Chain A
């Protein structure tokens, strides 16, 4: 037996290092933002409009103020700074003043000594509304004859993409119109915050669950009319996000109440309010026409994308750009004609959700690829392999895909994963569609297999510099990291420790509180934090290591370039010096801060041409479903997936992202939809908005494709979004295969299968 000196140390990159917040979380000791508490605190609560569109005639708060235990009631008149906010345009009021534009829009807020007192106070506020006709159909919003419902107009953004031969007609042409329903992020940890006013009333400290502390800080400070440094944010424990915490929800209200009362204010939404209090995934209607040669070679894509942004812009313009620039999917295509619109309606506002516009585009283009396969007499795998994009191919925006692009390998490796066994003749009821309801009969169950493949951009696009900042301090063999990267559950806290251990040869890595005390890390979204904040932590640790090497080199009169880290030691690669990092850093404090910026991108021109994206990741999904064709019930049996990840930095965490994303894509495929009738939500609860449970979770078989990405600081691509993108069309394709139905919308409902 030989002893290896290359045994990987515990907790370094490439190992399944355990997350530092794991034990506190399982023991109930981890402080989520909803657990924040302060002496003398009051409870804040929000009054919301019951109407999707109405003029506010009057607001009388006297009834609420007369209730014992109520300390403050605030409305739009009490906003000292900017009256509106927004991630891209400031079009959303802190409180509605003259008009409400969606059912659930905030109108007033109260502070009281008990949640029940606050609820009664809300009920005692009298708002007189003059109800207006609601604009609830996206198509109507495009009509120039429709009265604008907002000073900024009803079209949030239009973007065309025109490339290649605009009159090209293929030998084979297929078309379809696809609808995607409104999905909710449904993070478990409801919106919550605690605001502490400064003693002199000149500023405020906010503990909040969010995805981007510095963006919140900027928007809050503007609305409070305070300088940035008077609004200090610390991340409260975040119970999931998935895009739903990018926008401001209760932050400004909570701070306003704290400043108005001079007391700490705790605000937390219930589940119903959460459905009204954050944005959702855009419902979309997408028409596509694909042109191909007889052999299945894709030649032209035509598309019209219409996304319902709801009442306020949020990130709609960026979501639209993602959708229109991804309509070709992960396939070569030289000719394209795309017209995209994000419009304003009196529906609830929509914005970021995992997949960010690409989910919608992917359902349409993958449905089209199956139609094209059928029209060309090919199977779903062959047509996808035939057109699979490679590094160096051009997108319909003219941008060259410089990223590693193993699309073909994703498809082949997925196809090679084992299929599940056939459903037995006498299955347990729990294995049947319908589950424990025992509603499916074995004889009515048909199995189907379907495919989906996707491309997803990573990081922010269109010229945005979403940099990330990190600081590393080394003293006595212990590294301390500081960053403002929102840990929302994805596990950046463990990745940061792994990076420091690998770069610096330390075992103990401490983490400072996540706050605005350091520069921005950008948003925990767009699959970007491993790349961006990972790059920042890596950069800071490398600067510290350089300083350490200089110190050791000075002491030993050697060239610092000869020094390297081996395990937990600094060694001379050209000599026999070996000194532990702990000894080498004794008595020193080395402190470095690093900003990581990705390469610059461009805005699209009027024809949708330009290098607007930073990088791309790819994934393939194969779904196996059992369908009760008589009752329209679906059981997703298995999802096989091969994902282009660049490099696996933590196998356990990576698997968790893949499995978790697949469950959300399954939800969109067969369960999850916010049902709107005349602009009002009909199912804002976990009783009526269905989420995948442990009985709905399919078997997931995974192949991680590791081809390190040269552009990425750690060789690793972001892995958060791809799992939830093409799994949805794969499941729907499998249901089509089992039923022969067209199924042009998601989620697929029982009636779509039975009567569709």
Chain B
């Protein structure tokens, strides 16, 4: 299977849900599409993985024991604002959606995920944004190399 990349770096996805069947489903789905994806059922373990593992995109459930998905979202964005976070929830409440938005979630999907294509295209959008930033950074690096002799 072809691996999805950004500028020759393989994209790493993290799926966080306290239900193993759901992370299994997400892992199966995105593996099929050629992503490098890890599933984790404990939000605290997810936070450790984020800090160690260079993940680009996280798909995070909201209602979980131990640490709320919204709390995890806040930690991820504080740790690295560049990581894209897509929230999934069965608890469709105004509070959940507004808090997710305030903490900088890139998208929110309601369970059941009746259309996996939407989740896919949301991941696709996240990748294009990441690519855009990568391009800007590369441009800046090239510029820096040119400027270096003068400085």
Q: Do A and B come from one complex?
A: no
